[in-house]
Structure 1
Amino acid sequence: MDDGAVRDIVLIHGAWQGSWAFDAWRPYLEDAGWRVHCVDLPGNGHTPATKRHPATLAGYTAFVCETLLSLGGPAVVLGHSGGGIVASQVAEAMPGQVAALVYLVGMMLPDGMSYADLIRQHHAEDPSWAYAGIGPHLAWSQDGSHSQVSHEGALQVFLHDCPADAAQAAARRLAPQPEAGRAMANALTAERFGRVPRLYVGCRNDRSVPWALQQRMQHLQAPQASIALDCGHVPQLACPQALTAALLPALAALLAQFTH
């Protein structure tokens, strides 16, 4: 495989979202020559086809692997936010089909560590550090199996620096999220996941995954490349042109390094 052959990119959304989360960014990638495949993870009610898999890490992984197999060759796999956990597990399951992993302010966590574990670890080292994130803005189903983000919470935590009309539209589209597909931890090995190159896209003004936690994840997982943007949690909506301009050269360099 050479770099020129890698033109498919699979985009995995985070919690409460769907494939629509990449609508504003998709044209920029396509204009740059990428074939873009945006998945709807099972359990968020976006498409009937996803109902054959459960809203769990195993179900998400199986669903994305089906997409990869349909492409006929290796692809870049990108996970936004909690979609980073899914991207990692897909690389563990099918390392030969993943040319590179991109974490778009994504959860790039070590084997066995959940996001809650990461927060506890950071707080143990810095007790003065305060973190709320999206938690105070969640409403839960009676049995605790699903959560929903309030409209105002989405605007404050996720979409604060996005164009106003686009932010309002995105906040309205957030769906109930099965907790089984949010409270997840990877099972990763150096022999499989560890052989796939990784690129981290950090967002310094993120109110959902704070910069301190992004830095900690990069320290723990040591991606081969990283870039940083001065924006919040949803760069694909807040600044798609700047995201494209920063990411694609870094991704091309990473692919060239590992495919030649």
Structure 2
Amino acid sequence: MNDVILIHGAWAGAWVWDALVPLLRQRGFHPHALNLPGNRHGTGTAEQVDFADCVACVETALDQLDGPAFLVAHSGGGVIATQVAENRPDHIAGIAYVAGMMLPTGTGFADLTRHLVQRNPAAAGIGPHLIWDQRRRYSKVPPAAGRDIFFHDVDDAPAWAAARQLTPQPEGPRAGVAHWTPERFGALPRLYVEALRDRSVILEAQRWMQQQVPGADVATLDTGHAPQLASPQKLGEILAGFFHRVNTRDKACPLHGPL
């Protein structure tokens, strides 16, 4: 199982994986970086696209592959990956969350943020900086805020380039909530990649999610919110190690289960 579907987070696109893709290929994997609908990708506008559209986008990509694939989800892409895994567990080899939203069933990231921000204002992340349309159907990230919150540990030129590539984000997918069961999503191998210096999904939030959704392997990177930009080589090594462990285990025992 060498196919890897890369799922970007809010305001981003497939470009966020550009530095990681060749590193995975060098290790014998076949990465597929998706552009989710609504972020100026696909046919739907930011006002029209919802969570189900993004889930369907990933499921369509899965259907075009010959066998089970790994999902790698960054940030808000984690909620989409969770729902896809619940819907299609037989199509999933394992899931890796990169500073991602690995949430309990029926829980939205906004619920967690509201709880944490009462004692740690930094948990608000990018929220206070967003620019909304009049009906709050989509939001935009000012480049300076994107640079400071998402890419503060990335070299200056690529950090600004990434911040300026951020696109309007439909609120429907961003507010999506996954519903999953222990028998389907819960039985799949998982990896959580912590980002110690994350200013968007702060470390406290990342570790709360690991506690509430136990069973994942954990790896730690000393980066901000986007390790695929700040430290792609190390992230590639961590992901490849996880894929190899799952593949080795599946050759011995084809049943899904925690590592």
SS at match of 1:40: coil
Out of 23-32 and 112-121, give the one that drifted further.
112-121
SS at match of 1:41: coil
How far has the Cα of 1:258 moved from its partner? 4.6
Question: Structure 1 residues 215 and 259 mapped into 2: Cα distance closer, same or farther (>3 Å)?
Answer: farther
How far has the Cα of 1:122 moved from its partner? 3.8
Contact kept, 8 Å, 2:25 with 2:31, in 1: the verdict is yes
Give the corresponding residue for 1:68. 62
Q: 2:244 aligns with which of 221, 242, 252?
A: 252
Out of 25-34 and 39-48, give the one that drifted further.
39-48
Matched, 1:93 2:87: yes
Matched, 1:157 2:149: yes
- The within-5 A match list for 1:96-245 is 96-122=90-116, 127-130=118-121, 131-245=123-237
Counterpart-to-counterpart distance in 2, 1:13 and 1:42: 11
| Cα distance per residue 1:159-207 (max 9 Å; x no partner) | 0011211111111110000111111211111221112111101100000
Counterpart-to-counterpart distance in 1, 2:29 and 2:135: 42
Please tell me the residue identity of whatever aligns with 1:81. S
Matched, 1:81 2:75: yes
Give the corresponding residue for 2:38. 43
| Cα distance per residue 1:126-168 (max 9 Å; x no partner) | x532233001211001111010000100000000011211111
Counterpart-to-counterpart distance in 1, 2:142 and 2:215: 33
How far has the Cα of 1:257 moved from its partner? 3.2
Counterpart-to-counterpart distance in 1, 2:170 and 2:251: 38
Structure 1: stretches of 5+ with no match in the other structure:
1-5
Contact kept, 8 Å, 1:85 with 1:108, in 2: the verdict is yes
Number of aligned residue pairs: give it.
249
Counterpart-to-counterpart distance in 1, 2:161 and 2:29: 26
Counterpart-to-counterpart distance in 2, 1:202 and 1:146: 28
Counterpart-to-counterpart distance in 2, 1:66 and 1:76: 14
- Aligned-pair identity (%): 43
Q: 2:23 aligns with which of 16, 28, 38?
A: 28
Counterpart-to-counterpart distance in 1, 2:40 and 2:116: 34
Contact kept, 8 Å, 1:105 with 1:200, in 2: the verdict is yes
How far has the Cα of 1:245 moved from its partner? 2.1
Counterpart-to-counterpart distance in 2, 1:84 and 1:171: 21
Runs of 4+ displaced beyond 4 Å: none
TM-score if structure 2 supplies the norm length?
Answer: 0.92
Counterpart-to-counterpart distance in 2, 1:171 and 1:232: 14
Please tell me the residue identity of whatever aligns with 1:83. G
Question: Structure 1 residues 175 and 228 mapped into 2: Cα distance closer, same or farther (>3 Å)?
Answer: same
Structure 2: stretches of 5+ with no match in the other structure:
253-259
Give the corresponding residue for 1:10. 5
- Cα-Cα RMSD: 1.5
Contact kept, 8 Å, 2:93 with 2:246, in 1: the verdict is no
Out of 250-259 and 187-196, give the one that drifted further.
250-259
Please tell me the residue identity of whatever aligns with 1:203. A
Counterpart-to-counterpart distance in 2, 1:120 and 1:174: 24
SS at match of 2:96: strand
How far has the Cα of 1:251 moved from its partner? 3.2
Please tell me the residue identity of whatever aligns with 2:5. V
Counterpart-to-counterpart distance in 2, 1:55 and 1:33: 34
TM-score if structure 1 supplies the norm length?
Answer: 0.91
